[in-house]
Amino acid sequence: MRIRHLLPALLASTLFLAGCTGSSDSSDASDDKGGDASALTARLASAKEALDSAETIDISLATKSLPDGITGLLSAQGKGNHSPAFKGKVTVITGGSSLGADVIAVDGKVYAKTGFAPNFVTIDPKDLKAPDPASLLSTDAGISQILVKTESISDGGQSRDGKDVLTTVKGTLPGTVVATIIPSAASDQTFKVTYRLDDDDQLRDATLTGQFYPEGGDVTYTVGLATSDTPVTITAP
């Protein structure tokens, strides 16, 4: 008689324990998912530190095209430091045509010299809806800040860049943050961003997509970055 009474109790205990085990597995899966996001966030923060501590940064910022009728930045390529200062080439679209110029940006001023001009002249990049290229290298309000202000972070898998295997990180950025880089960006919109990091958490490139200009729909800019421990000196022309 005792055995017959004990069997239902043992069966109930077994089912209860199985239920507890299932709950624990579900909780662990959730924790693992959260851990992945935390790990990616930490890697982006590490990438920012690497950029901010570099003596020199080679930077390129470009889009394949701008919508018809838009005045804005087509590309910028050069090197600079965190003073901040920049020296390189910039191409803008204005009046339906592309205009390229050698550019030096230092001490809060931007100087440009087109191919047909003999000397550098001071310009206001806002007139061309383009950023001060030196500002892109600022540790506070430049490209590196977006790494620690990214939201909705997720793992985008891996990709190859030559022999290197890179980790892709996806997320979103508030328009208020993007507008500090490209002043014409819509501050009330959300932008998509994709980063690629190497195994040492060095940022290889970042791709931003969204409403960078009032008309014409979304535009995609790709930023390429490389760091160096060799200082660069940039002075006004």
The answer to whether position 218 is within a domain reads yes
Give the residue with greater pLDDT, 76 vs 4.
Answer: 76
Q: What gap in Å lies between CA 111 and CA 123, rounded to an integer?
A: 6
The answer to whether position 112 is within a domain reads yes
The answer to whether position 24 is within a domain reads no
Q: What gap in Å lies between CA 60 and CA 223, rounded to an integer?
A: 6
Closest CA to 176 of 162, 165, 190, 196: 190
Domain count along the chain: 1
Q: What gap in Å lies between CA 34 and CA 30, rounded to an integer?
A: 6
Using only the alpha carbons of the chain, give its radius of gyration.
25
Predicted confidence at residue 66, as pLDDT, reads 93
Helix, strand, coil proportions of the chain in percent (round to 5)?
30, 40, 30
Query: For the whole model, what pTM was predicted?
Result: 0.82
Average of pLDDT values for 105-120?
92
The answer to whether position 31 is within a domain reads no
The answer to whether position 17 is within a domain reads no
Q: What is the CATH number of the domain that holds 175?
A: 2.50.20.20
CB-CB contact of 54 with 229 (8 Å): yes
User: Is the pLDDT confidence value at 3 over 50?
Assistant: no
Q: Summarize pLDDT for 131-150 with one digit per residue, the tens.
A: 899 999 999 889 999 999 99
- For a pLDDT cut of 90, what percent of the chain falls above it? 72
pLDDT mean across residues, the chain = 86
The answer to whether position 74 is within a domain reads yes
Q: Summarize pLDDT for 4-35 with one digit per residue, the tens.
A: 443 344 334 433 334 444 433 433 333 333 33
The answer to whether position 11 is within a domain reads no
Q: What gap in Å lies between CA 189 and CA 93, rounded to an integer?
A: 23
Please give the structure tokens belonging to residue 121: 């002249």
**Sequence-separated (6 or more) residues with CB below 8 Å from residue 226:** 57, 58
